[in-house]
Amino acid sequence: MSPGPRGDARGFWPFAGLLALFYVAASAPSPLYGDYAVRWHFTDSTLTVVFAVYAVPLLISLLVFGGISDEIGRKPVALTASFLLAVSLVLFVVADGLTLLIAARALQGFATGLLTAVASAALLDLQPRHRPGLASLLGASLSTGGLAAGALLSGLLVQYAWSPARLTYVVILVALIVLALTVTVRAGETVTGTATPRIRIRMRVAVPAEARTAFAAAIPSLLATWALNSFYLSLGPSLAKTLSHSTSHLPGAIPVVLLTGCACLSTITTRTWASRTCMLSGCAVLAAGSGLTVVATALTSANLFYVSAVISGIGFGMAFSGTFRSLVALARPAERGALIAATYVIGYATFAVPAIIAGIVSTHFGLTHTALGYSAVVAALALIAVATTSRTLEKP
């Protein structure tokens, strides 16, 4: 099958909304992890396993099924991903222990990987002709914007609504059904022809020879940005509640909202910057924010921690978008998919592994000491990234 005519805006915004909602669902459990730990008596290490199990199925579905919508159509794959997310939300609602919680999180990750690939392709297919850069902009900003919205929604419902552990997922499920129906009715199918779907890895994970030096130099930046995001979404809510000495759930949601929301805004506002400038400036700001997190944790200051989340978020958005654009520009079109795949393999591995390590360390040495060490490592990686990439990546 092959993509049909581009520029038909019908269905563009429903697909954009669906993509954003998947990331809303991804961060919604974050303010609830503390409650799960108390209710079912598991440690920080178990909590981070629940968080991190999302990453592996996501990466598998992205790599194995990433191109299947080119063969059977955008809408069937998007609706399949929506169905799988709906099942995961039901599992969250009925979860009565660790097993169902892990199953829900893993299925959520698989559905998100499947939807990310097809929605990104659909946005490019349906992009309005008079706004040629809109799909790329939304692709870069909807993920962090959705994460911010999900944490805020969950935090508010947990604090003020009845049965928050269930209501959060019910609200997202209702929105998912509405958006899936809208895509079904309004979105035109942009893939034409017929083909028998084949299950195979569509994106070869490889770094082109001409990009290897720059890719190696950019690894500290990838590690810093993804590790930072991982920490805030897994243990960040618990740390905020510890620093604020509060039993309220809102302090736990605030750092996630600030980090991801500021990342979204910085990605949008710096989209016209040169990728090298964006990456280097972002790494420097990220290092400053992580350093401030160390100070905030040492002083047990919740307010300073929130300020550090703002600064870290700004740096995170700039650093990742700049790094991604810098690397992609180094590959020929035929090699770009393999390079993007390699970038996401490192990213999601960093998203999962450091969180699990932090959870284990936290169980033995306490959350405060873990946060101090983790933030210091992120700051060091960001500074290393500035040093390694400032001479490697050429100015555009």
Q: What is the residue type of 145?
A: G
Residues with Cβ within 8 Å of 115's Cβ and at least 6 positions away in sequence, in order, are 18, 19, 22, 78, 81, 82, 85
What's the rounded Cα separation, in Å, for the pair 168 and 89? 9
Dihedral through CA 330, CA 335, CA 338, CA 343, nearest 10? Answer: 10
3-state secondary structure of 348: helix
- Closest of 246, 299, 268 to residue 139, by C-alpha: 268
- Match domain 1-202 to its CATH number in 3.40.120.10, 3.30.420.40, 1.10.357.10, 1.20.1250.20: 1.20.1250.20
Domain boundaries, the chain: 1-202, 204-396
Q: For position 197, what pLDDT does the model report?
A: 55
Residues of the chain with pLDDT under 70: 1-10, 67, 132-133, 136, 164, 190-205, 333-334, 336-337, 392-396
What's the rounded Cα separation, in Å, for the pair 224 and 202? 28
Domain at 204-396: CATH architecture: Up-down Bundle (1.20)
Q: For position 384, what pLDDT does the model report?
A: 94
Q: What is the residue type of 229?
A: N
What's the rounded Cα separation, in Å, for the pair 44 and 307? 25
Q: For position 2, what pLDDT does the model report?
A: 45
Q: What are the tens digits of pLDDT across the range 206-263?
A: 788 888 888 888 899 999 999 999 999 998 998 998 999 887 778 888 999 999 999 9
Residues with Cβ within 8 Å of 352's Cβ and at least 6 positions away in sequence, in order, are 52, 53, 54, 55, 56, 230
Which helix H or strand E contains 128, and what residues bound it? none
Q: For position 36, what pLDDT does the model report?
A: 85
Domains 1-202 and 204-396 share a fold: yes
Q: For position 6, what pLDDT does the model report?
A: 47
pTM value is 0.85
Q: What is the residue type of 131?
A: R
- Closest of 396, 394, 340, 345 to residue 214, by C-alpha: 394
